Amino acid sequence: MSGRYEALSRALRSGEPAALATVLEGGPVGATIVVRPGAEVLGALGDPELTRVVARDALAALGAGRGGLRHYGLRGEARQGAVTVFLEAFAPPPRMVIFGAVDFTGSLARVAAGLGYRVVVCDARAAFATARRFPQANEVVVEWPERYLARVGDALGPGDAVCVLTHDPKFDLPAIVAALRTEVGYLGAMGSRRTHGRRLEALRAMGVSEADLARVMAPIGLDIGARTPEETAIAIAAEIIACASGRPAPRLRDREGPIH
């Protein structure tokens, strides 16, 4: 049967969720189904009951963002080892929202795109926020950060990132407050220790709780001595990876003294 690769490829290109399940042992080796939420299962794994059970597990794997090897009975029974299936979950790519169309934004957008993020650059200043300046971004939005997050913030989850690079309290503060209302997994803000000290005072005065303030990674990035926009992008991306994996990488936030 043909058409399964095309369906998978369309889903991957458009960032829609899809899963692939392939028989490795105990059945028709290489038999493959393509599973998408709300769409019919394409292909078959031999036994119809096995196909049905594996398709269900593939959807669950998609929700959990984890694939891997699964074992079944010949007719899809659980806790049996007759058939081995490889499940692959292609979740939509994570999102990075960068507030501030500044020098550092292009470099960060480029690094984030390389890591598989769908990158949105948002700045209220139409002169700076142009697709021409940020070809690496999937989307460039001219809007106030808090208005943008009011529109799309609900869609942000633990795998997504918000980076506030504006350096300007007039944009930074509402952006941070709005981002704290989302479930976003990583929230970082650029600025020197002095800038961030003033920012913390202002955020406290706005009623932001200490627990929420602790979510803000600032000064943004790992302590690798980054100076240029390109180096800083690496330091930020590395901090996002370390936060997600829970590794104790040296964060600028956790040290004292000058950043550079």
Name the site residues for other proteins (rule: CB under 8 A): 1-2, 4-5, 8-9, 12-13, 20, 22, 24-25, 29-30, 32, 43, 67-69, 86, 88, 90, 116
Helices 193-205 + 169-180 axis angle, to 10: 60
Nearer of residues 116 and 258 to other proteins, judged by Cβ? 116
Least CB distance to other proteins at residue 231 (A)? 25
Distance, in Å, from the CA atom of 59 to the CA atom of 18, rounded to the nearest integer, reads 8
Q: Which is nearer to other proteins, 65 or 197 (CB)?
A: 65
Q: How buried is 78 (Cβ within 10 angstroms: 0-12 exposed, 13-18 middle, 19+ buried)? A: exposed
Up-side HSE of residue 117: CA atoms within 13 Å toward CB? 28
Residue 89, classed as helix, strand or coil, is strand
CB 55 → other proteins: shortest distance, Å? 15
Buried b / exposed e along 59-69 (16+ C-beta atoms within 10 A): bebbeeeebee
Least Å distance, CB 137 to other proteins, is 18
DSSP 8-state class, residue 43? S
Nearer to other proteins, 69 or 126 (CB): 69
Q: How far is the CB of 242 from other proteins (least distance, A)?
A: 18
Nearer to other proteins by Cβ, of 22 and 195: the residue is 22
CB of 18 to other proteins, least distance (A): 10
219 touches 192 (CB < 8 A): yes
Nearer to other proteins by Cβ, of 86 and 144: the residue is 86
CB of 27 to other proteins, least distance (A): 11
Nearer to other proteins, 60 or 150 (CB): 60
In this structure, are residues 164 and 190 in contact, taking their beta carbons and an 8 Å threshold? Answer: yes
Query: Is the distance from CB of 32 to CB of 4 less than 8 angstroms?
Result: yes
